[in-house]
Amino acid sequence: MWVDAAVIGIKLVAVVGVLLMTVPIMVWVERRGSALIQDRLGPNRVGPAGLLQPFVDAIKLLIKENLIPAGVDKLLFVLAPTIALVVALSLFIAVPFAVDDGLELVETPIDGFIVAPDLNIGILYIFAIASLAVYSIVLAGWGSNNKYALLGGIRASAQTISYRLAMTLSVVGVIMAAGSLHLTQVVTSQSGVWLGFLPRWNFLIQPLGGIIFIVAAFAETNRLPFDLAEADSELVAGYHTEYSSMNFAAFFMSKYIHMVTSAALITVLFFGGWQIPWISLPGGWMGAGLSLGVFSAKVVFFLWLFVWVRWTLPRFRFDQLMALGWKIMLPLAVLNFLWVGVAMASGILT
């Protein structure tokens, strides 16, 4: 009994700690990466190569006065960043990120030590919790009593609804191919080869669904070219215009945690999770370590992709953003799961 409780406690502390530590790391990567893309130096004064700059920024946010402007709805104003951070931290718990077959601690089997809880509705849980994130933005926009913040909140709600439909439909093909809502089973179904030599990754079998999911992930995280909810050149800073200190930091951290979760979901759903093409991982602790390393490498690649795209593509106009979601991505997502159904019926995917 005590081993089970210890495993759960270690897992929660480790996952939350890694997610929170990812934020300053990604802030540094974002700044140095944008400088590299734009032929600049980026932060290079605080610590070697500017590595300590994110920690200085964190200290600055901690000691700044937490201002609450007059005229705001105080309950909604304070509740909004809290919801954003809690939702962001609650998502990753259902994402499996390593193999844990045959692990033992003090001669006690501890299956489930590394991977997430084996939820029967893993994908549905993630989509349900993720849908709550938009409430934090809408409440921030409304509670701030600021027209720019309100416009940012309205844009965010419209954008989330538009792209969540395409994202959900793109995952329907994955569920059909795996025959399960278990994310671990989704990863397992991508083992082996397809057509005799290709890795059985869903991205290779249904590339249209993978591309739609990745594009929708950018829109869900409000990253360029989909940052219409903030759009500093139009809305000052959008929904968090009136926020400062740790309230602002909560929104900031939630955005980067959502990036990590999105990169992990892309890896799990379309790129084989911890699977290595044409190679079978060993069991025990060695297999757990190797699978965790493979999964982490894939997530790091997609995190860099988020940074790369942000500092490469310009922002869409809002009408272009809505047209892309409703007129292009939604029909293509329907076409994708129709293709998967036809391929399964004809035996192509067996």
Question: Cα separation of 269 and 190, whole Å?
Answer: 9
What dihedral angle (degrees, nearest 10) is formed by the CA atoms of 287, 292, 294, 299? 170
What's the average model confidence in pLDDT over 27-49? 89
Of 75 and 113, more confident: 75
Average pLDDT of the chain, as a whole number: 84
Of 14-18, 46-50, 222-226, 234-238, the poorest mean pLDDT is in 234-238
pLDDT above 90: percentage of residues in the chain: 23
Q: What is the per-residue pLDDT for 116?
A: 58
Q: What is the per-residue pLDDT for 109?
A: 46
Q: Please, which pLDDT band fits residue 158 given cuts at 50, 70 and 90?
A: confident
Q: What is the per-residue pLDDT for 104?
A: 53
Q: Please, which pLDDT band fits residue 271 given cuts at 50, 70 and 90?
A: very high
Q: Please, which pLDDT band fits residue 329 given cuts at 50, 70 and 90?
A: very high
pLDDT of residue 283 exceeding 70, the answer is no
Classify the C-alpha dihedral 198-200-201-206 as positive or negative: positive
Of 282 and 330, more confident: 330
Exposed (0-12), middle (13-18) or buried (19+): which is 112, by Cβ within 10 Å? middle
Q: What is the per-residue pLDDT for 111?
A: 53
User: Measuring CA to CA, how many Å separate 267 from each of 95, 237, 301, 319?
Assistant: 10, 31, 10, 30
Q: Where are the domains of the chain?
A: 65-91+119-346
314 near 228, Cβ under 8 Å?
no
pLDDT digits (tens, 9 = 90+) for 187-199: 888 888 887 788 8
Q: What is the per-residue pLDDT for 203?
A: 93
Name, of 16-20, 69-73, 81-85, 96-100, the range with top average pLDDT: 81-85
Question: Cα separation of 103 and 100, whole Å?
Answer: 6
Phi, psi of 282, rounded to the nearest 5 degrees: -70, 170
Joined tokens for residue 239: 């929904």
pLDDT above 70: percentage of residues in the chain: 91
Stated pTM of the model: 0.90
* Neighbour count for residue 215 (Cβ, 10 Å): 22
Q: Token pair 């995190």 is at which residue?
A: 303
Q: Between 284-310 and 207-220, two packed helices, what is the crossing angle to 10 degrees?
A: 70
Q: Please, which pLDDT band fits residue 113 given cuts at 50, 70 and 90?
A: very low
Q: What is the per-residue pLDDT for 1?
A: 57
